[in-house]
Structures are given as C-alpha cells and as structure tokens.
Structure 1
Amino acid sequence: MEVIKEEPNVMVECEMNEDLKGEVKQEIDLKLKNEVSEEIFISNEIVQDKGALSTEVKKFKCLDCDRWFNCKNQLTQHMMVHSRVKEFECTECGKLFSGNSNLKQHLEIHLGMKKFRCDECGKLFRTKGNLKQHLVIHSGVKKFKCDECGKEFSYKSHLKSHLVFHSGVKRFKCDECGKCFTYKSNLNDHFLVHSGVKKFKCEECGKLFGSKGDLTQHLLIHSGVKKFRCEECGKLFAHKSNLKNHLIVHSGVKEFKCDECGKLFGCKGDLKKHLLIHSGVKKFKCEECGKLFASKGDLKKHILIHLGVKEFICNECGKHFGRKGDLTQHLLIHSGVKKFRCEECGRLFAHKSNFKKHLLVHSL
C-alpha cells in the first residue's frame, strides 16, 4: 500500500459550545449509569498481529445501536453521535457533524485529497479504511452469501443491498411515468429515457444507449454468448430478461390485450410491437424491393426471401419456408382444420387469405 505524502492544510475554526458539550456528556453518563449492561461481548473475529492470535474483549455496549467498545471513553464518544448534537458545520456544503475530527475528514472530500493508493489498480482513496475495504475486491474473498440465490459478495453491505431485490420492494418511483425501481441508481438510469439523452455508443453497430448498463447488456448480442437456456425447449438467450419473456410462451399466459383488435400477448414488448401495425407507421424499408415494414424484426424476416434462405421445413411434406409464420400457416392444410366459412355458399377454408379471395367471386 502506497501512501501519498500530502499534508492537509485544514483549519477548522468552529468549536462546540463547551457548556452544551458538557451537558450532553452528563446525560450520556447518567444513561449509562441507569442502564448498565453486564453483558460481555467476545469478538468472533480473530485479530492477527505479528503472527500471534488474540481475542478482543469488548464489554461496553451502546444502548442505542448495540455496538460494543473496549473502554467507557470510546463508548461515551460514540454516543455523541446518537445525541444528535451537531455543532461543527462544513463551510463548503453546510453539512453538520458531531465532532471536529469528523468535519476534518469530510473536508478532504471538497479538497479532493486522496492519499491512499491501491498497489493493485492504482485507485486512490481518501481514508486508509476505504482502501482496506477496496483491497477485499482484489483478494477474491467473498464470504457473504445470499441464501436465496447463492450469489456471493465481498461486503456485507453489498449483500444487504442485494437482498432488497429478493424482497420485491420497489420504493423509488419515477414521477414521469410512475414506474418503480428497487434501487435509486436504476431510477437515475431510467430518468435518461425521459430526457432522451443517449451518450453511450456501441462501437460495433453504432446504436446509442441512455445508460452504461444498457450498453453492456447490448454488447452480449455481438459477443454471441448465450448462457441462459430454456429448460423446456433448449433455446438459448443472451439476456436473462429475454429468457423470462420466452418462458411465458410455454406457460400459455397472455395478459396483455390489444385494445384495437383484442389480440392477446404474453409480454408487454410483443404488444408494443403489435400496436405499430395499427398505427400505420412503417419506417423500415427493404433496400431490395422498397417494401415498408412496421418493425425491424419484420424487415429482417422479409430479407430472408431475397436471400433465398428457407430454414423452416414442413415435417409432413418437406416443403421449405423462409419464415416460421409461413410454415405455421402451411401446417393448417395438413391438419384439415378449416375454420373460415363462406356465408354465401358454405365453403370452408383453412386460411383467412384464401377465404377473402373467395369472397371476391360472390361480389362479381
């Protein structure tokens, strides 16, 4: 660990009112006297010092937060935090602190003083404690495990933050659209959607994204890595969210309904794509024939026709098709199902398109 020698020149002129300080200490001493705890805490953490093992005894317990201390003076100093007396004010941002040392430490943030450097990656830290916490990442030690999913973390705080995800609690709400998020960072990323700002660019295809996280997820498409596998059909996906949406297909649940035609969909994304049909907007143009499409996905399927690619084969007759939808329509012939009936002559048809063509005969 390298310590950058840079002595801070910080003058803190603010002093706590001595009478007030004395009153607070008297209140704390009285509280400790009236509620003495005889419990003794033996630390489970074994402290290693020069190769020798020792067990640290902490017999003074804070009655407000259950924290333990070696001596009464440490406990008394600590309880000043709970007294809520904060007389030391930062002249830069106005934040209040209960102790002069806390204010000095805080001022280093404004001064940009980071004198503790990590030998592994060169990152700088303001305090030795922060550097120690950071070094755990390089050690690879992850001793905090989630009982829900088995994921491991280097810090207890990271595990606590992760557990909120399993709780299902989403307390950060977007004022624009009402969408709720588990973490504030997710809400901040979401705000970029409404702002329209997309500053993260994919070097592979040029697509822009509102957050770095979205770009990272997108890059998996170009990597070709698909590690999320459907246990039902074996299909692989690059993103976990795509697998979740796919699983709805197997469940048969379709709770998203189109208000225009009544068609049901398994996920909201499919409904949004479908609504483009009713909007009449077709902004995706085929360079080969000039045909327009409502979605990029439909254009991609159409291009297969020009390429002559027909990867969908009918198991009944061996006929090849360029699109899965065309194969599905074709299979109705083999099924013998004809649900489209002409009211004029009673003739039945397997496909709606053939039924419409037939109706022209009666209109002549």
Structure 2
Amino acid sequence: MRRVARAPTEDGYCACAVLLVRRLKTATAHAPCCSCPDDDGPDEPGSRNKDTSTTGKPCKCGDCGKGFKYPSLLEIHRRSHTGEKPFTCSVCGKGFTQSTTLLRHQRFHTGERPFPCCVCGKGFAQSSELLIHWRVHTGEKPFTCSVCGRGFTQLSQLLTHQRVHTGERPFTCSVCEKRFTNSSNLLTHQRVHTGKRPFICSMCEKGFTTSSNLLTHQRIHTREKPFTCSVCERGFSQDQSSNLQTHQQVHTGERPFTCSECGKGFIQSSHLLRYKEVYTGERPFTCSLCGKRCGKEFNFPSDLEMHRRCHTREKLFNCSECGKGFNRNAHLQQHQRVHTRERPFTCSVCEKGFTSSSILLRHKQVHTDERPFKCAECGKCFKSSRELRSHQLIHSDERPFRCSHCEAGFKHSYQPSLHQRTHTGERPYTCSQCGKKFTQPSHLRLHERVHSGEKPFTCTVCKKKFAHSSHMLKHQRGHK
C-alpha cells in the first residue's frame, strides 16, 4: 500500500493530520442545515438573518436577492439563473460555470488524485473528499440522527438515513414504479430491468450490478473470510453491514424488524419483506426465458435470477473435491460437508447430525409425525410445503427439466444431473469402510449404517429401532 511521508509533530501526529483536524473542526462548526436557506460560507457570529448590506455582502442578485462579497462571485452565481456554462471539458464536452469546477472534473479523465491521506496513502481528487475520508481514521461522526442517535460522517448520509424514519422514498423506477430512498439504489435497481452487469469477475466471468457484490463474490474463489464472530469465532466473507452482523443476532436474540400486522420479529429486513408477502400475495418478478413462459413468480429479482439457472443449467459454484457444480454458493457449502463429514446441526431427540438446519427441521417431523400440508387434489398430507409442492407435480404432466444425453424429462431441477450418471457411470461418493461407490450422498449415508449399526429411528409405540425412516413408518402402521 502506498504511504505518504509526512514530518511528525511533537504529539506524534503528522502536520497533515493536525491541519486536517483543524479544518474538520472549522467545517463541522458551520455544517449546513437542511432547514436553512443556502449560503456561500460562514457568517460572523450573530449575523444570521441580518440584511446582507451590514454583513459585508453588498453585491446582491437581482433575481433571488442573495448577497455576495465580491462582484466576481455574483457573476458566477448569475450563471445558475441564465444557464450559462462557459467552461467546457475537451474530453466529454460537459460544461461548467466555474474554471475550478472544470479542473476538478478533468481529474476523472486523467485519474489524478493530488490529495493523499497521510495515514493510509489513499488518494483523492478533491480536498473535500480527503476531509470526509479522514473521519474513517478519527472515528468522528458529526452528523447525528435526532430520532435514533446514530452518527454519520456526512450530512448527505444523515439525510438519506432519516428517510428510514419518515418513510420517504423520493426516487421512483420508471419501469416498475418501485421507490427508493436514494438515487444510487435506484440506479442499481434499474439494472434488474436492463440486465446490465458492468462488474465482471476475472476468474469465472460472472457479472454483477455493483462493485461491492463483485468483491464479496471473489471471496468465494479465494475462500477468504476476513470477518470473525467474537462469540463463536465463525468466519464470514462480509462485514458488520451484512453476514457477520446478522449472525451475531443469533447470539443476542435480537430481532429488530417487526411485522406491523402480527408483531412477529425478524433478524433481517429482507426476511420481514418476504414474510409480508403472505398478506399481500404480491410477486412482481415473473420468469420468462427463451420466449417460453414457465409462469413462476417471485418476490425479489435475486430469487428470479437463481430460478433462471434451473432453465439455463448454469452452475457457477464448483466443488474443489469432486467437481460437482451448484447454482448457489449455499448449496456448495452444504455439499462440501459430505467430504469433510461435518454435521453441525444435531437433533435433540435422537442426536443425529445434519449438514444443514433445514434438513434438521424436516428430520424433526419424523419424531412428531405431524403432517400439516394437505394436497387439494388427492388429500394426501405432508410434513413440509416443499414436499407438498414436489408431490403436486404428480398431478401435472409437465416435465420441464431435460437430460442432455437422451432428452428424458424430469419434474425437478436436480434430477437430470443425477440421471446423467447412468450415462457417464460416475459414482463420486465412496464408502471409507469397504470402498463401495454411490451416485448420491444420501445413498452413501444409508449404506454407512450397515457398518456402523446405527438405527436412529425409534418406534414411539414399542421403541423398536430402525436404520431407515421409511422402515419405521411402515412398521408403525402395524400398530394402528
């Protein structure tokens, strides 16, 4: 990292740092107020609301009455009324009212950053940007929200934050009319409609709508997890604003996002938004791929994007052990536990371990035998909505997922990849005891019980144990 040498002062800070701190104090002492009219600089103490002729601003604008100290400043101001922009960029043709503004703009083309930070060496095109950046090192947050007390380094950040409390969303998408609190979020959202993904990963060529999403994605390839939970030391690829902060609420029990209808709390705002769809039933994002509409609708564009991979069979995340591909990183991480034998989620009834919390939740229903999800066609009951949706395909002849070798049709997206192993002969899952190979990890787990003698399923009536849940369910029917 480039560092800029500065002579240290007596108290250990460089001269640049001391100067910046002094300028920060001067700047924040007269921080602009959103409730006051614009001005061109700090007035003398007690001079606000006085006539401009008594405060050293004799040059008044004939259009708006604003006062200025010098005729040259008044001339520049008048251009805001006339629209005159006499200074033009020779590269892009953009016009400016002042030559100094043109000079700052030209640095975007030249890449010049003449204002370096004396602590970390980062360069800036404008001194005002350096002053704001300096607060990263000092921790200063001079702009405080009057509602929740949260501090910010910039006034613009505070104004944007206050819209969380007021509910104001002044920026509207012209396509779907979705509203946003700031213009940058609107610009990012509009890429959902245009399909533009300007930030490309150099390793897998996947495109992203924002540079921050690209940086987070690249950690999938590097397996970097620089942010660690202070309680359980679990590592995360994203910092306090995302994965780590959300995880820490598991330890604190905090659920800051509450449904106004039923009072239910959620760890993330996105979970609350998804839950609210239960009441509205709104699903604005519809799949329409290759001219053939499958009709499936989604609450969020990210859900639609992941669903599209079922049609394109795009698998961006590959296991380094066996090469198997996945369309979601979460699925890859869960799969890798097949190789590591890690089973961090344990059933409190039978102490059986599982690779994911969702599988554990489905397993727990084996002990309760509760089946709350009923098929409207045949009346059959199921333990989860996922099993019900899978079952409902029996009543439909649709088989949208095809094998690339024999064109056989399947009702589920995962079935073609399993079926293709009949063509390739691939059996990637091997028993460590006898060397027998299997096409699926679930088949391997069932086989391993032959060696271990494990029988995790117990009949609630006679306490007989079984290696398979299907054997136990069949046995229990004999008691009825």
TM-score bracket for this pair, using the shorter chain length: 0.3 to 0.5
Structure with greater strand share of residues? 1
> Which of the pair has the greater relative contact order for Cα pairs under 8 Å at 6+ separation?
1
